[in-house]
Amino acid sequence: MKATIVGLGLIGGSFALGLRKSGLATALIGLDRNLTHAEKAIELGLVDKILPEDEALAQADLVVLAIPVNALNIFLPYVLDTVKSDAVVIDAGSTKSSICKVISSHPKRDQYVAAHPIAGTENSGPTAAFHGLFKDKTNIICESGKSSAKALDIANKVFSALEMKTIFMEAEEHDRHVAYVSHLSHVSSFLLGQTVLDIEKDEKNIFDLAGSGFASTVRLAKSSPDMWAPIFEQNSEYLSQALLEYIMHLQRFHYHLMKHDTKELHRIMSKANEIRRVLDSKSDKPIEEKKDILSKTIN
């Protein structure tokens, strides 16, 4: 199978490495409008060659789109216009509703699989890519009923080759849930980093005093704004709701802190400790038992 990877950063590059390692792709074509990224991807062996857009898309049996979600809205219809009638197109966007709406009436809609492999690091670019990024992670496919049996079969083979577990849900449902469990954590990290930078003008204090807890909490603040700003924009409705609820909890904590109400602060933190039970049980249960939002699995 000849695969074209569009976007040769952390996600696209790791896709390419996984497809090559598994033997699922016999040839890997790269496509990236950042020429430095394209050259680096060749140098690192992520892809075999770089081709012009039309040629890269027209030759592919499989197209993987690993580009920012605002670019996906514009580029995906063109991709479907250009690919062969039996090619399969998969995206890796962190929002799904807007993208699915853009191509809802496209004549090749059934060749497209709306996916969200939930994996990543705070690093970006081709040098950030590594084999195993997706291992044991969850992948979400939205609007599976609008994809052909062949497209879903190819997608299943791809995500199985990456050693991911796949679940299915609708696009709106997906965007609502990731607002809380993914997008909100990134906002929190970005703004915690900004708060510390604003207050601690002496950078030596940050370096000397920040422990591993701070480093792990603010790690996501090193993520690419080029990728995350469009995600926040496209999921603004659900993210806004998540932020309002988060701010409410912060205000409540602040109120009890100012009242020196240690007992109530302890109660709040003890209640938050329940997240340990949820996360620790993740690896002990089959995925269909973890959330009542999923309908079926393919692994």
Q: Tokens 């997906």 sit at which residue?
A: 174
pLDDT for res 284: 52
Report the Cα 235 to chain-centroid distance in Å. Answer: 13
Helices and strands of the chain, counted as H and E runs: 15, 8
The lowest-confidence range among 48-52, 171-175, 219-223, 288-292 is 288-292
Distance CA 115, CA 111 (A): 13
DSSP 28-67: EEEE-S-HHHHHHHHHHTS-SEE--HHHHHHT-SEEEE-S
Cβ pair 51, 31 in contact under 8 A: yes
pTM attached to this predicted model = 0.84
**Same domain as 156, residue 41:** yes
Write the CB contacts of 254 (distance below 8 Å, at least 6 apart in sequence): none
The residue among 100, 135, 169 that closes a domain is: 169
Is 70 exceeded by the pLDDT of residue 295?
A: no
Whole-number pLDDT of residue 188: 94
At which of 122, 154, 169 does a domain end?
169
- Is residue 32 within 8 Å of 112, Cβ to Cβ? no
Q: In the predicted model, is pLDDT for residue 291 greater than 60?
A: no
Q: Is residue 186 part of a domain?
A: yes
Same domain, 150 and 203: no
Task: Read off the CATH number of the domain in which 139 is found.
Answer: 3.40.50.720
Residue type, 291: K
> Residue 282 — pLDDT band, cuts 50, 70, 90?
low
Instruction: Report how far residue 57's alpha carbon sits from residue 236's, in angstroms, rounded to the nearest whole number.
Output: 31
Structural domains in the chain (count): 2
Q: What is the predicted pLDDT for the residue at 72? A: 95
Range of the domain at 227: 174-258
Residue 115 lies in a domain: yes
Domain shared by 109 and 58, yes or no? yes
The predicted pLDDT at position 290 comes to: 41
Q: What would the pLDDT profile of 162-176 be if each residue is shown by its tens digit?
A: 999 999 999 999 999
Q: Read off the CATH number of the domain in which 241 is found.
A: 1.10.3660.10
Q: Are residues 31 and 165 in the same domain?
A: yes
Among candidate residues 143, 169, 195, the one where a domain is terminated: 169
Pair 25, 112 in one domain: yes
Q: What angle do CA 231, 159, 172 make, to 5 degrees?
A: 35
